[in-house]
Amino acid sequence: MSSSSGDPDRLVPSGPGDLTFQKQLEESQWWSSERMDEHQRRELARLVTHALGTVPFHRRRLEEAGLDPSRPLNGEGWRRLPPLTRRDIQRSGDELCSTKVPSGHGRVITTKTSGSTGTPVSVRGTMFDAMVGKAFSLRHFLWHTHDFSGKLASIRRIRGERYDYPHGLTESRWGDTATFPFTTGPAATLSIGASIAEQAEWLARQDPDYILTYPSNLRFLAAHCREHGITLPHLEHVITMGEVLNPETRHECGRAWDAPVIDVYSAQEVGIIALQCPASESHHVQSERLYVEVVDDHGSPCGPGQTGRLLVTPLHNYAMPLLRYELGDYAEVGPPCPCGRGLPVLSRILGRERNALLVAPTGERYWPAFGSRKLTELAPIVQHQFVQKSLDLIEARLVTERPLTSSEERSLRIYIQTSLPHRFAVSFAYCDEIPRNASGKFENFVCEVTA
């Protein structure tokens, strides 16, 4: 890790797998809130200076908000800057990208995601920002007790026939050396396209020490194993990611395997946002790498016990600065954590929870993967949601920039059908906006079938 002159709190890894950086993170988690606030203000000032000079989209908005990074940033001034929405990203194109990415940040990489609101976006980042993200992934594993010589089994969305059931892919280590700069045990990965019954059978053969998957998948997987007497004798705990983890899923996992669940709250566009506390089920915001705001309907900061919209500003993405990026998720602010860490607390996270898995005509359940990234290449789709209306019908609810042609509908239908484990009929419903449900959550997939 290197520090800028005169700034001992500058947290910057010197290279991939920098364990010195992990030692700095071990110290910074205990900083007071005042010291962390000061660290974030300095990083924000650097980022805003860069955006003002090299990002046309932000230059206009920053000037209109009257933000001058040469003067100390304060909360009131920062909140004059309008939140950045997914539609802003869709519409802005290259105007949101820096014209001069610092050379030390490495090559630019692009991430495409449908996100928690079903609104596809493409976000650019750098190798440096990715390296920082890997360091915080390792922090998760270091916060919670792991035997790194054990076996990690992952069931997730991943492309390639080599990950398909019945074998999946087995490798000699848990991940790359940038994330795990030391020896680990083996890792096994299975595509989420396998049915719940197939996943359970595969896990029984793998007999892992740790499982990593999505919460909605875990709930049905654990229930299936409990109902069919499938035990995992070496399982220590389960790691969830990518969706909201509800108490029912934790409970089901405990009933099935007597194993706790440890959650990672993240979004593809910005990486890890918060990690579950080692001492509770609350989440700590990873403030060293991003600035997180929870605001009410009027844009004012929420206090402990209040629920509001999440705005996220990654502090190290200089390729496409996301200033006050509105994820579409909601969270409840928690009080200071009894564990003593100075990192902000989210006591509850809302949004992105799937209400059920897709039910095939055979009665088997699948975690649906519609290939959302490909949809915008086939048609000008702004937002989408898929609803299973019956055992043989999927309704695609779409918000589009213009009416689709019959050829575009035909291409979409074929693509959606090939993304599913059975050949469902596909109908289209066009909307001006796809709303959240009564709980304030957006569901990318909704199953209306009872089975």
| The amino acid at 449 | V
What pLDDT is attached to residue 352? 55
Q: Spell 56-85 as b/e; 16+ CB within 10 A means b.
A: ebbeebbeebebebeeebeeeebbebebbb
Q: Please tell me the distance from the alpha carbon of residue 311 to that of residue 328, in angstroms, as a whole number.
A: 8
pLDDT for 99-156, tens place per residue?
999 999 999 999 887 655 567 789 999 999 999 999 999 999 999 999 999 999 999 9
By percentage, how much of the chain surpasses pLDDT 90? 72
Domain 82-351 in CATH 3.40.50.2000? The answer is no
| The amino acid at 51 | A
Task: Check if the beta carbon of residue 200 is closer than 8 Å to that of residue 218.
Answer: no
- pLDDT tops 60 at residue 193: yes
- pLDDT tops 90 at residue 163: yes
Q: Please tell me the distance from the alpha carbon of residue 126 to that of residue 43, in angstroms, as a whole number.
A: 17
Q: Which residues contact 393 (CB under 8 A, 6 or more apart)?
A: 424, 425, 426, 427
Tokens representing 11 are: 């947290």
H-state helical runs in 154-214: 196-206
Tokens representing 194 are: 């396998």
User: What is the mean predicted confidence (pLDDT) over 220-230?
Assistant: 94
What pLDDT is attached to residue 2? 37
293 bridge partner residues: 311
pLDDT for 406-434, tens place per residue?
999 999 999 999 888 888 999 999 999 88
Taking each helix axis from N to C end, the angle separating 215-227 and 247-257, rounded to the nearest 10 degrees, works out to: 30
Tokens representing 142 are: 């270091």
Sign of the CA dihedral with 293 first, then 295, 300, and 303 last: negative
Q: Which is nearest to 425 in space by CA: 409, 410, 408, 413?
A: 413
Burial of 140 (0-12, 13-18, 19+ CB in 10 A): buried
Lowest-pLDDT range, 256-270, 277-291, 363-377, 401-415? Answer: 363-377
Torsion-angle region of 129 (φ positive above 0: left; ψ -120 to 50: alpha; else: beta): alpha
Q: Please tell me the distance from the alpha carbon of residue 276 to that of residue 274, in angstroms, as a whole number.
A: 7
- pLDDT tops 90 at residue 208: yes
What pLDDT is attached to residue 68? 85
Q: Please tell me the distance from the alpha carbon of residue 421 to that of residue 127, in angstroms, as a whole number.
A: 35
What pLDDT is attached to residue 451? 61
Q: Which CATH superfamily is domain 358-447 in?
A: ANL, C-terminal domain (3.30.300.30)
| The amino acid at 84 | L
Q: Which helix (H) or strand (E) holds 46?
A: helix 33-54
User: Which carries the bigger pLDDT value, residue 449 or residue 319?
Assistant: 319
Query: Helix (H, G, I), strand (E, B), or coil: what is residue 141?
Result: helix
What pLDDT is attached to residue 55? 97
Tokens representing 125 are: 């980042």
pLDDT for 43-90, tens place per residue?
999 999 999 999 999 999 999 999 987 887 888 889 999 999 999 999
Q: Please tell me the distance from the alpha carbon of residue 166 to that of residue 239, in angstroms, as a whole number.
A: 22
User: What is the mean predicted confidence (pLDDT) over 154-159?
Assistant: 91
Tokens representing 195 are: 């049915």
What pLDDT is attached to residue 120? 76
C-alpha angle 162-163-169 in degrees, rounded to nearest 5: 80
pLDDT band at 263 (very low <50, low <70, confident <90, very high): very high
pLDDT band at 248 (very low <50, low <70, confident <90, very high): confident
- Which strands form 381-390's sheet, in the order they lie side by side? 425-430, 393-400, 381-390, 445-447
Domain boundaries, the chain: 82-351, 358-447
Burial of 213 (0-12, 13-18, 19+ CB in 10 A): buried
- pLDDT tops 70 at residue 159: yes
pLDDT for 353-368, tens place per residue?
455 578 999 888 887 8
| The amino acid at 359 | V
User: What is the mean predicted confidence (pLDDT) over 167-172?
Assistant: 98
What pLDDT is attached to residue 1? 31
Q: Which helix (H) or strand (E) holds 134?
A: helix 127-143
Q: Please tell me the distance from the alpha carbon of residue 229 to that of residue 223, in angstroms, as a whole number.
A: 10
Burial of 280 (0-12, 13-18, 19+ CB in 10 A): middle
Q: Please tell me the distance from the alpha carbon of residue 195 to that of residue 4, in angstroms, as a whole number.
A: 51
pLDDT for 8-46, tens place per residue?
557 778 888 788 999 999 999 999 999 999 999 999 999
Q: Do domains 82-351 and 358-447 have the same CATH topology?
A: no
Place of tokens 């004012």: 300
